[in-house]
Structure 1
Amino acid sequence: MVPQKSKLLLLSIGCQLGKIGVFPTDMEGGHSSELAEKPMTTISRHCFGDDSEESPFSISIIENMKEDYGLFVWPCSIVLAEYVWQQRLRFSGASVIELGAGTSLPGLVAAKVGANVTLTDASDRTEVLDNMKKVCDLNKLKCNVMGLTWGVWDASIFSLHPKVILGADVLYDTTAFDDLFATVTFLLQNSPGSVFITTYHNRSGHHLISFLMAKWGLKCLKLLDVFSFMPSDKASGLSGNIQLTEIVLNNGHTKYL
């Protein structure tokens, strides 16, 4: 089952964003009952910039209409991707890691504007990792795709030195918060001067996030309400209390959310 996320919300989001293709993964042969059991695949297109801006582009995302939350583009991902686009000069040439990337929209936008991107999701979620590779190929972008399970210290994590860590809607399951913050803290320590940028629905409350930041030696550098920077056409398709925050290592001065 999808943890703490509503399939009704998903369907609503899908209708709002619009799709450029909706089709069963295998349309050859079989009866309608067999096709009904096939996962439904969609391709959504997400545009950044317009004719008045330099080099507008779009990213196409393969989504799968079944109960795997890593195969949907959630609102927080759209918001974080827009922020990356607006901050594109900051990302050009930077080393970027996206945690819990799922369909990877923010990381793909970072790659499009010139970042060196590593897309990650839990190591045991092979279908999600495979989908990441397909989406990279679809958009003709070269990103490193790797399994990275929060709170697990395998050999691959020690080679990562990101300037920017991205995470869209990674603060949804409170039981995973400590593992997430442990991983973020390690990556920040492994790359001095780096920053963790995350978007999240305020489900659990700022106080819990503030407590965990203090626990792991982190602090809030910036906190934004997403409607303060989202274009009106994209903001109209969003709902709920969505926040964006930039988090860094605390050097002795804690700023609470």
Structure 2
Amino acid sequence: MESQPQRACRQFSYKSGQLDIPVKVLELLDPDFGLYVWPSALVLAEYIAHRLDMFNGSPDNPKVILELGAGTALPSLLLAKATRDNFLIVTDRPDVPQILANVQEALKENGIQTLYPQDPNARVLVRGLGWGDFTFANEYDKVGGLQQLLKDISCMEQINNLSSSSSRSRGQIDLILGSDVFYNPP
């Protein structure tokens, strides 16, 4: 009989100016994919809290922020709670569905809505993105790679009328974050 991975909920608190930002992170300890907060995620989250102004967009010009290999997604969770005028794309390996499901659960735990097709007005999209995958979605790969991600960003911008109201290039990513990015080929 296989044992179930151990679950843990860790709480972090960040201060940015007058703002106190509590963040709950869900960990799933499993020998195959060890989903826990890495020290690099803690460092990036501290940096974000101290430089929050750098990560803020505006209603007329929201930022699109992509986190690669998010793992437990601490930096994205912090940004989703601390900023209002951003769109966040949280990615990790598409071949380990527990990682993306864990991020979705952590977003719910923190009261953060996820993006279409569930809610076109939300600001966070969680999706798989594999290293070196530059494809569009197709009948064999429903998620697709980087090309599909850029297409999804363009659709998100259209739904929210972003491209017409700002000086953005369609499909533009303003910031790319990476604190839990390890490449482990099969």
TM-score interval, normalised by the smaller of the two chains: 0.5 to 0.7
- 2:74 aligned to which of 95, 105, 108: 105
Moved over 2 A (4+): 157-161, 172-176
- 2:30 aligned to which of 53, 62, 66: 66
TM-score (norm: length of structure 2) = 0.67
- The answer to whether 1:80 aligns with 2:44 is yes
Shift of 1:169: 3.5
- 1:119 aligned to which of 90, 94, 102: 90
Answer yes or no: is the 8 Å Cα contact 2:21–2:78 preserved in 1.
no
Answer yes or no: is the 8 Å Cα contact 1:123–1:149 preserved in 2.
yes
Letter of the aligned partner of 2:68 in structure 1?
L
How far apart are the structure 2 equivalents of 1:148 and 1:38?
26
- The answer to whether 1:133 aligns with 2:125 is no
Larger Cα-atom Rg: 1
Q: Paired residues, what number? A: 139
1:152–1:90 distance in 2 versus 1, CA, 3 Å: same
Shift of 1:84: 1.2
Letter of the aligned partner of 2:15 in structure 1?
G
Match of 2:173 in 1: 162
How far apart are the structure 1 equivalents of 2:14 and 2:47?
10
Answer yes or no: is the 8 Å Cα contact 2:21–2:82 preserved in 1.
no
TM-score (norm: length of structure 1) = 0.50
Letter of the aligned partner of 2:64 in structure 1?
S
1:158–1:173 distance in 2 versus 1, CA, 3 Å: closer
Relative CO higher for 1 or 2, CA cutoff 8 Å, sep ≥ 6? 2
The share of aligned pairs that are identical, in percent, is 30
Deviations 1:5-45 (A, max 9, x none): xxxxxxxxxxxxxxxxxxxxxxxxxxxxx7x9232110001
Deviations 1:70-104 (A, max 9, x none): 51101001111111111111111221010000100
Match of 2:15 in 1: 49
Task: Give SS of 1:140's match.
Answer: coil
How far apart are the structure 2 equivalents of 1:96 and 1:153?
19
C-alpha RMSD over aligned residues: 2.3
How far apart are the structure 2 equivalents of 1:42 and 1:122?
21
Match of 1:148 in 2: 129
How far apart are the structure 1 equivalents of 2:184 and 2:102?
26
Letter of the aligned partner of 1:104 in structure 2?
A
How far apart are the structure 1 equivalents of 2:108 and 2:40?
23
Unpaired runs of 5+ in structure 1?
Answer: 1-33, 177-257
Deviations 1:176-227 (A, max 9, x none): 9xxxxxxxxxxxxxxxxxxxxxxxxxxxxxxxxxxxxxxxxxxxxxxxxxxx
How far apart are the structure 2 equivalents of 1:38 and 1:134?
17
Give 1 or 2: higher helix fraction.
1
Shift of 1:157: 2.6
Answer yes or no: is the 8 Å Cα contact 2:37–2:74 preserved in 1.
yes
Shift of 1:174: 8.0
Match of 1:96 in 2: 65
